[in-house]
Structure 1
Amino acid sequence: MTRKIGSRYTANQILGRGSAGTVWLGEGPEGPVAIKLLREDLASDQELVGRFVQERTALLGLEHRNVVSVRDLVVDGNDLALVMDLVRGTDLRTRLDRERRMAPEAAVAIVADVADALAAAHAAGVVHRDVKPENVLLDMQGPLGPGGAHPALLTDFGVAKLIDSPRRTRATKIIGTPDYLAPEIVEGLPPRAAVDIYALATVLYELLAGFTPFGGGHPGAVLRRHVTETVVPLPGIPEELWQLLVQCLAKAPASRLRASELGARLREQLPSLAGMPPLDVDEPDAEPQEAHEEETEAAAPRERVRRGAVPLVPGAKPDSNRDTHTSMRVPGPDELAGGARGTARVPRAAGAPRPGSARHRATTRRRRITLGAAAVVLLAVVGVGTWAATSGDDSGGAPTDTKNSTPSSP
């Protein structure tokens, strides 16, 4: 199935689908290209088309080795499309789904590439606003870097901004993917460059751990955690790398590093991470399980359920294999303050029982029985000692202190 996109491009094959449109493998005057064709209902929105055209200069002018460049913008009838460089490879989400987590050296090398891409974008006045593994492409034809990492390129610049029109999202709405949203966005503040740093630090945490620091459960609960909870250390993570993560996940935007600083600091740590295996941690549960589910956990391992997301466009189908944007009401101060535990879900060392599970309760019961038995033995020993001390004189008379006694007078 092929279709013409404007007068210069032909879309030949669908590469993927998203809530905002479809990505095609296409052909242009200069060879193969990737064409992101936005949904027809978006193309019929004249206000959005106007914003699309206004962003043309910024998007076309953003060139960097770690950025998927936009070659052209097509507005033709009901077609609204971004024509981009074709990257021969896969996206970071696909690799993460396959491997679950990555060795620190490879993870840091990939994130350093993305930090360089963000540094170039921020210098040009462009904020990405939707940094996540789905928007990081791995060039399988590029040279291998530290830890065997393929070159990483950041894509979809400007898409979130284009769709975030005043008519579609009022001041009380949120645009983004819940797991990667900076606290200031949740609180309704305008997105600055620091939101991309927070999202990228979340991506690095996810590459290392296999899960995001504040994700899991209902999107509203995820948003609240970003504002009210603090991230906890991952078992086995090098201290210097952890401190870097903590700084970039700071609640205050001004406390985070700039993209160029983050990229440089990450590369400084690469030599110390060489040969280190992936972290051995288990994902904490976001919500307590029902009792009957806990009892059957040992017999049937729980299947890892992907976190859902609310489509960006009302009525749009969620991506078949991708988390999508969400458009949600900004929680009020009372909602943000309620129910927080003070720290994020604590990652467990591999093999440790899940809190509240049948194995955890059995372990707790055994511990209580052991402590109870020890207490009985202790009480028995104390009782025997007391009995011995008070029954030294069988005649019933007062005990004689021979050490300090003095002889009687005749």
Structure 2
Amino acid sequence: MARKIGSRYTANQILGRGSAGTVWLGEGPDGPVAIKLLREDLASDQELVGRFVQERTALLGLEHPHIVTVRDLVVDGNDLALVMDLVRGTDLRTRLERERRLAPEAAVAIVADIADALAAAHAAGVVHRDVKPENVLLDMRGPLGPGGSHPALLTDFGVAKLIDSPKRTRATKIIGTPDYLAPEIVEGLPPRAAVDIYALATVLYELLAGFTPFGGGHPGAVLRRHVTETVVPLPGIPEELWQLLVQCLAKAPASRLRASELADRLREQLPLLAGMPPLDVDEPGLAEDETEEPAPAAEPGDEPVRRRGAVSLVPGARPDSNRDTHTSMRVPGPDELAGGAHGTARAPRPAGAARPGSARHRAAVRRRRVTLGVAGVVVAAVVGVGAWWVSADGDDRPAPADHRTSAP
């Protein structure tokens, strides 16, 4: 059912729903537009409306071939809406879900486009704060680029900042999607341009590998990994490209490249990547011999297995149709970031070892349990044959140690 948005726009059809609002296919004075209508509770927040008006000039001034242009910001009664260019295509998350991972040439070309977009935004003093595949749109009507990639455009500028008002997210809260949050945000520092570089490098890793470098499991565990763990290498890509990823995933913001530098360095890699097939790497949460098998059944008390993609900040929440995940979450305390509820530092995990609590670790524990159980039965049978006259009560299977750890 069509509805008027302000005096100039009409919203005709819902394209998707997210936690921040609803995206409509609309019509304006100059033709079709996309209208992001924020939730009514957000529109009724006078502080947020004031911030919305303050951001108007900055958002309307962002014009770049790889940025989805914001044409207008509408404040009308209970309606609070961003009117944007309509991109005929799909988002990067949808392509990832369909293809699992991209060929390196296409992945790097897409990320270079978004780096160009961020360079323009940062030059204008705007930090996106929520770079992720859901906010990258692929223009299916644009010319094909390296690796057959469609032109990529970054959208949703300003939405995270608008929602991140002091009233809604006190100093003890953070906003964003856990898989893509830079360590300094997790530690409660103000977001600068470097947080977008970290998030974009995480997106590139995900495009190449099919999973994010620190994702999976409880959101608190994901946030802790951003601060404490190093990224696992991706075999099969040029060393120069890997070093770019490592630099942009550095814990220290000052160590990361600027957006314009990243775009240039990525495009230098394109000739080396021509014709290279998608990487063949194991997904996290699987044992080496279970790569193509279903995940093992969960035991009582085990957390659900999450193999790839962003995790929800709200336990048990179903994904939105457009996977918009602007949500606030408590900042972990120093003891939690150190690796445990009691503030004990966690020893570095040996290369190739499974992360405690992961599906891969649980599978290994279960195999050990089965082995111990079988061994116990065999021993009991031998003893029974050799000394049938001895009877004893008790369990003939050794009790396995529980190696699972719970995230704070």
TM over 0.5: yes
Name the SS of the counterpart of 2:131 in structure 1: coil
Which residue of structure 2 lines up, in the alignment, with residue 167 of structure 1?
A: 167
Name the SS of the counterpart of 1:161 in structure 2: helix
Which residue of structure 2 lines up, in the alignment, with residue 327 of structure 1?
A: 328
Please report how far the alpha carbon of residue 344 of structure 1 lies from its aligned counterpart in structure 2 after TM superposition: 10
Q: How does 1:194-273 map to 2 (within 5 A)?
A: 194-273=194-273
2:69–2:85: 8 Å Cα contact kept in structure 1? yes
Following the alignment from structure 1 to structure 2, what is the Cα–Cα distance between the partners of residues 263 and 344? Answer: 33
Amino acid at match of 1:309: S
Which residue of structure 1 lines up, in the alignment, with residue 20 of structure 2?
A: 20
Structure-2 change in CA distance of 1:263 and 1:95 (3 Å): same
1:174–1:327: 8 Å Cα contact kept in structure 2? yes
2:178–2:310: 8 Å Cα contact kept in structure 1? no
Structure-2 change in CA distance of 1:303 and 1:185 (3 Å): closer
Structure-2 change in CA distance of 1:172 and 1:7 (3 Å): same
Which residue of structure 1 lines up, in the alignment, with residue 363 of structure 2?
A: 357
Amino acid at match of 1:325: H
Q: How does 1:26-175 map to 2 (within 5 A)?
A: 26-175=26-175
Alignment of 1:309 with 2:293, yes or no, is no
Q: Cα RMSD between the aligned structures?
A: 2.9
Following the alignment from structure 1 to structure 2, what is the Cα–Cα distance between the partners of residues 71 and 344? Answer: 51
Q: How does 1:395-410 map to 2 (within 5 A)?
A: none
Following the alignment from structure 2 to structure 1, what is the Cα–Cα distance between the partners of residues 222 and 307? Answer: 18
Which residue of structure 2 lines up, in the alignment, with residue 178 of structure 1?
A: 178
Per-residue CA deviation, residues 291-350 of structure 1 (Å, 9 max, x unaligned), is: xx74899xxxx99676541369xxx985145261331111111111124453699599xx
Amino acid at match of 2:348: G
Following the alignment from structure 2 to structure 1, what is the Cα–Cα distance between the partners of residues 63 and 271? Answer: 29
Identity of counterpart residues, as a percentage? 85
Which residue of structure 2 lines up, in the alignment, with residue 338 of structure 1?
A: 339
Q: How many aligned residue pairs are there?
A: 350
Which residue of structure 2 lines up, in the alignment, with residue 279 of structure 1?
A: 279
Structure-2 change in CA distance of 1:231 and 1:242 (3 Å): same
Following the alignment from structure 1 to structure 2, what is the Cα–Cα distance between the partners of residues 345 and 220? Answer: 23
Name the SS of the counterpart of 2:167 in structure 1: coil
Instruction: Compute the TM-score of the two structures, normalised by the length of structure 1.
Output: 0.80
Please report how far the alpha carbon of residue 360 of structure 1 lies from its aligned counterpart in structure 2 after TM superposition: 9.5
Instruction: Compute the TM-score of the two structures, normalised by the length of structure 2.
Output: 0.80
Following the alignment from structure 1 to structure 2, what is the Cα–Cα distance between the partners of residues 25 and 36? Answer: 9
Structure 2: unaligned runs, 5 residues or longer: 288-294, 300-304, 341-345, 376-408
Name the SS of the counterpart of 1:327 in structure 2: strand
1:178–1:223: 8 Å Cα contact kept in structure 2? yes
Structure-2 change in CA distance of 1:347 and 1:201 (3 Å): farther
Per-residue CA deviation, residues 350-374 of structure 1 (Å, 9 max, x unaligned), is: xxx9555369948x97xxx9xxxxx
Q: Which moved more, 1:78-87 or 1:339-348?
A: 339-348
Name the SS of the counterpart of 2:138 in structure 1: strand
1:96–1:102: 8 Å Cα contact kept in structure 2? yes
Please report how far the alpha carbon of residue 235 of structure 1 lies from its aligned counterpart in structure 2 after TM superposition: 2.2
Following the alignment from structure 1 to structure 2, what is the Cα–Cα distance between the partners of residues 250 and 16? Answer: 34
Following the alignment from structure 1 to structure 2, what is the Cα–Cα distance between the partners of residues 347 and 133? Answer: 29
1:59–1:158: 8 Å Cα contact kept in structure 2? yes
Please report how far the alpha carbon of residue 188 of structure 1 lies from its aligned counterpart in structure 2 after TM superposition: 0.4
1:90–1:140: 8 Å Cα contact kept in structure 2? yes
1:175–1:326: 8 Å Cα contact kept in structure 2? yes
1:93–1:133: 8 Å Cα contact kept in structure 2? yes
Amino acid at match of 1:336: L
Amino acid at match of 1:324: T
1:177–1:324: 8 Å Cα contact kept in structure 2? yes
Following the alignment from structure 2 to structure 1, what is the Cα–Cα distance between the partners of residues 258 and 78? Answer: 39
2:128–2:157: 8 Å Cα contact kept in structure 1? yes
1:213–1:345: 8 Å Cα contact kept in structure 2? no
Amino acid at match of 2:152: A
Amino acid at match of 1:332: G
Structure-2 change in CA distance of 1:238 and 1:174 (3 Å): same
Which residue of structure 1 lines up, in the alignment, with residue 394 of structure 2?
A: none
Structure-2 change in CA distance of 1:134 and 1:252 (3 Å): same
2:215–2:311: 8 Å Cα contact kept in structure 1? no
Per-residue CA deviation, residues 142-165 of structure 1 (Å, 9 max, x unaligned), is: 000000000000000010001100
Structure-2 change in CA distance of 1:223 and 1:3 (3 Å): same
Hey, which bits of structure 1, 4+ residues long, moved more than 6 A?
A: none
Following the alignment from structure 2 to structure 1, what is the Cα–Cα distance between the partners of residues 249 and 267? Answer: 19
Structure-2 change in CA distance of 1:355 and 1:328 (3 Å): closer
Which residue of structure 2 lines up, in the alignment, with residue 385 of structure 1?
A: none
Amino acid at match of 1:85: D
Which residue of structure 1 lines up, in the alignment, with residue 343 of structure 2?
A: none
Which structure is larger by alpha-carbon Rg, 1 or 2? 1
Amino acid at match of 1:25: L
Amino acid at match of 2:216: G
Amino acid at match of 1:75: V
